[in-house]
Amino acid sequence: MYTTLITPADLADHIDDATFVIVDCRHDLMNLEAGRDGYAIGHIPNALFASMETALSGAKRGADGVFRGRHPLPERAAFITTLRSWGIHPDTQVVAYDAHGGMYAARLWWMLRWVGHPAVAVLDGGMAAWQSQGLPMSTDVPVHGGGTIADQAPLVSTVSANEVLDRGSRTVIDARAPDRFRGENETIDPVGGHIPGAKNRFFKDNLAADGRFKSAEQLKADFAAVLDEPSKAIMQCGSGVTACHNLLAMEVAGMPGAALYPGSWSEWCADPARPVATGA
């Protein structure tokens, strides 16, 4: 079972394995059709496409009309229905990939763990690593369905905005780029800044120069510099997506237990009553 990362070579060995389901998670926050367009041009053989805006996110406003963030989690039942439509069973090995160092694939990795499915891994290095090894591409769209996966006890935890506000000694880690964390160059959310008291750990710092994840030892040292106890950490970002990259990196490092704040900055800053900090 692969539970964190998988190499292109190992995935290639299982490319026609009926117990594997491969999911293309490419996306672009500024061009919402870019992922699907890229998938149509060419993808890893037998890969399905997952839309960040629909399959991996829910309604931006709850039944009470309150804004939940740019990429709130879908209802668990709806996500299970999606997974079944992809042909995922309780014993299926899922592999997620993208072309962005895992920043979107990690979201699917975390969400499968959210519904209790441990057999999920991110392709280390993504599309670039796959293609650099001369491995095949395809334009065929596989047909799946009939999956039997069921909602199980979560392997991960979440916190609400109120729990972040009243977090006590828990440490908040923000995965956004340092300039956005400081409140500079904000082009996505209406308010610049960060949650007061949060620390910044840019998700791209989890990657080596070749686009693959750093070693477990290096990641452990990196995260130990910003938090003391993983189980008391809360991971967030702009909309709950790239925070999952930090959570994956921590899992690789052998530092499990941190919680995700799914609404993240996009939900937090939508309520003017919540405090905002700027600067380092």
Just list the catalytic residues.
Answer: 237
Burial (CB count within 10 angstroms: exposed 0-12, middle 13-18, buried 19+), residue 228? exposed
C-alpha triplet 209, 212, 218: angle, nearest 5°: 80
In the structure encoding, which two tokens stand for residue 227, read together? 């938090």
Measured CA to CA, the distance from residue 234 to residue 250 in angstroms comes to 12
Residue 240: partners with Cβ closer than 8 Å, 6 or more residues away: 69, 71, 72, 73, 107, 260, 261, 262, 263, 264
Closest residue by Cα to residue 123 from 94, 85, 143, 149: 94
Contact 190/253 with Cβ under 8 angstroms? no
Residue 269: partners with Cβ closer than 8 Å, 6 or more residues away: 189, 190, 191, 193, 276
Contact 204/230 with Cβ under 8 angstroms? no
